[in-house]
């Protein structure tokens, strides 16, 4: 697991510095986000089946007010899990394995490039109002 995280961190660092020939594609990230939007809202602090994603990057796990999290996700938040880009890249592979007991029924995103594009899209579009 640490090796996977190290690889994900290296990948993020590489595209953050422009080392990848093709930068994350926000349009493709938006397309991948379509898999998420049945359960999550990105632009309003409105919970659906899942918690809203506004302010996701840098937010402590299980911290959206008014959302009823699983005991497993609450425990992760209490352990200090924070939704960073690196954590999301790993979590989105298989959410149910990353947080055993989560309510999130989504099977995951296997393709790394899709996860990179999605996380870039979330970083750009799931911001708190400034």
Q: Which CATH number do you get for residue 32?
A: 1.10.760.10
Say if 108 falls within a structural domain.
yes
Say if 66 falls within a structural domain.
yes
Say if 121 falls within a structural domain.
yes
Domain with 107, as residue range(s), is: 2-125
Using pLDDT thresholds of 50, 70 and 90, give the confidence band for residue 80.
very high
Say if residue 21's pLDDT is above 90. no
* Half-sphere exposure at residue 56, Cβ-oriented, CA atoms within 13 angstroms: 25
What was the pLDDT predicted at 22? 74
What was the pLDDT predicted at 17? 46
Say if 107 falls within a structural domain.
yes
What domain count does the chain have?
A: 1
Give dist(CA 105, CA 60) in Å, integer.
Answer: 20
Radius of gyration of the chain (CA): 14
**Cα Dmax for the chain:** 42
Give dist(CA 71, CA 76) in Å, integer.
Answer: 9
Give dist(CA 21, CA 46) in Å, integer.
Answer: 37
Task: Find where tokens 């979590």 sit.
Answer: 91
pLDDT tens-digit map of 86-108: 999 999 999 999 999 999 999 99
Task: Calculate the average pLDDT of the chain.
Answer: 89
Say if residue 33's pLDDT is above 70. yes
What mean pLDDT comes out for the span 54-73? 97
Say if 130 falls within a structural domain.
no
Say if residue 128's pLDDT is above 90. no
Say if 64 falls within a structural domain.
yes
Task: Find where tokens 């870039």 sit.
Answer: 120
């Amino acid at each position: 697991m640490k090796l996977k995280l190290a690889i994900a961190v290296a990948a993020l660092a590489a595209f953050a510095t422009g080392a990848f020939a093709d930068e994350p594609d926000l349009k493709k990230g938006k397309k991948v986000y379509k898999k998420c939007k049945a359960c999550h809202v990105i632009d309003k602090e409105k919970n659906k089946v899942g918690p809203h994603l506004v302010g996701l990057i840098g937010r402590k796990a299980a911290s959206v007010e008014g959302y009823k999290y699983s005991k497993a996700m609450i425990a992760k938040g209490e352990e200090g899990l924070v939704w960073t880009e690196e954590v999301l890249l790993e979590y989105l592979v298989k959410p149910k394995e990353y947080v055993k007991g989560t309510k999130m029924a989504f099977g995951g995103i296997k393709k790394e490039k899709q996860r990179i594009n999605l996380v870039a899209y979330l970083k750009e579009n799931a911001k708190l109002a400034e």
